[in-house]
Amino acid sequence: MAYQTVRSWDPELVPTPAGRGARPDEACPVEVALRVISGRWSTLLIRELLHGPLSYGAFRKRLPTLTDKVLTDRLAELRGHGIVERQITRGFPSRVTYQLTPRGEALRPLMIELYRTGEALLA
Amino acid sequence: MAYQTVRSWDPELVPTPAGRGARPDEACPVEVALRVISGRWSTLLIRELLHGPLSYGAFRKRLPTLTDKVLTDRLAELRGHGIVERQITRGFPSRVTYQLTPRGEALRPLMIELYRTGEALLA
DNA sequence: CGGAATCCTATCGGATACTG
DNA sequence: CAGTATCCGATAGGATTCCG
């Protein structure tokens, strides 16, 4: 009979089997969360939207060095993840605004924790 | 006189000027935190180490599809960030183990929050 | 056992120009 | 105002081979 060391999972760190894979896994909750906030500029867009809805042009004013292509890419990605939605108001001029969905608002505690952890690492 | 809308920062979300930049910034706490956990396999290595020290070979056994190159890269990166340290025990056989530093242990709340948020997004 | 050195490819994101 | 369409260089990370 051979011995083996069985590792028990910390139930606070890894409460469900979904986080116990032996390889990168789309369904792992940690990766799900990371995927929606990952990508250059993503956290900046989320930060802006956590303060309220913005138009395309308002993004460009607040983040002047962000190019159209990347802004469009990121907004599409965030919309694809159900984090952001686009509101079009018809009329002259027709107004387009982006805002967080309830799913998007759910990112706030994570953003706060990221900030906190980053500050701790800097100290 | 022109009007302008001045945005006030949510002091819980962005408590210090370090997080108010208009472009991606290495010194932004959010990016600092993201940088140390980013990269494929990184969160898996951190998860393993949050359960205790591991040898190089133990990593390979627990994460069989992770290649030497990437494992070496990630460990070097995590060591460079001061998250992980390497302990060498002389003798036969000479033993090498990797473990989290106190800075590394400080990532635990963030990992838990990532998991929580990911589960919320999946629901 | 515990790595380092090469090579190769896919994706990412910046620059630029154009459009309804 | 609110985007699209191309192009293109830099990295990231996987496969493979070799080393003390």
Domains identified in chain A, total number: 1
Helices (H) and strands (E) in chain B, counts: 6, 3
B108 located within any domain: yes
Instruction: Extract the tokens encoding A110.
Output: 């994570």
SS3 B111: helix
Residues 6+ apart with CB under 8 A from A102: none
Q: If you measure CA to CA, which chain A residue comes closest to B60? A: A22
Residue B3 within a domain = no
CB contact under 8 A, A19 and B109: no
| Protein residues bordering strand D (Cβ below 7 A) | A 24, 55-58, 68-69, 72, 75-76, 86, 93, 95-96; B 39-41, 65-70, 73
Which chain A residue has its CA at the smallest distance from B32's CA?
A118
- Is the residue at B33 inside a domain? yes
Q: What is the CATH number of the domain that holds A100?
A: 1.10.10.10
Q: Is there a contact between B115 and A9 if contact means CB atoms under 8 Å apart?
A: no
pLDDT of B69 > 80? The answer is yes
- Position A89 scores a pLDDT of 86
Give A101's contacts in chain B (Cβ within 8 Å): none
Q: Could you tell me if A34 and A43 are in contact, meaning their C-beta atoms sit under 8 angstroms apart?
A: no
Please report whether residue B9 resides in a domain. Answer: no
Burial, A72: exposed, middle or buried (Cβ in 10 Å; 0-12, 13-18, 19+)? exposed
Of B75, B64, B55, B74, which Cα lies nearest the Cα of A5?
B55
**What average pLDDT does range B46-72 have in this prediction?**
97
| Domain assignment present for A7 | no
Q: Is the pTM for the entire model greater than 0.85?
A: yes
Query: CA angle A65-B21-A32, nearest 5°?
Result: 90
Q: What is the pLDDT along chain A (123 residues), one digit of tens a residue?
A: 666 667 899 999 999 999 999 999 999 999 999 999 999 999 999 999 999 999 999 999 999 999 999 999 999 999 999 999 999 988 777 789 999 999 999 999 999 999 999 999 999
* A10 within a domain of the structure (yes/no): no
Residue B93, pLDDT score: 79
Extended strands (E) in chain A: 54-55, 84-89, 95-100
Contact B74, B45 (CB under 8 A): yes
| Domain extent for A43 | 29-122
Please report, rounded to whole angstroms, the spatial distance between the CA atom of protein residue B95 and the C1' atom of nucleotide D19: 19
- The spacing between the Cα labelled CA in B91 and the C1' in D20, in angstroms, equals 16
Asked, for residue A18, whether it belongs to a domain, the answer is: no
Residue B8 lies in a domain: no
Kindly report the backbone phi and psi dihedral angles of residue A102, in degrees, each rounded to the nearest multiple of 5, phi listed first.
-55, -40
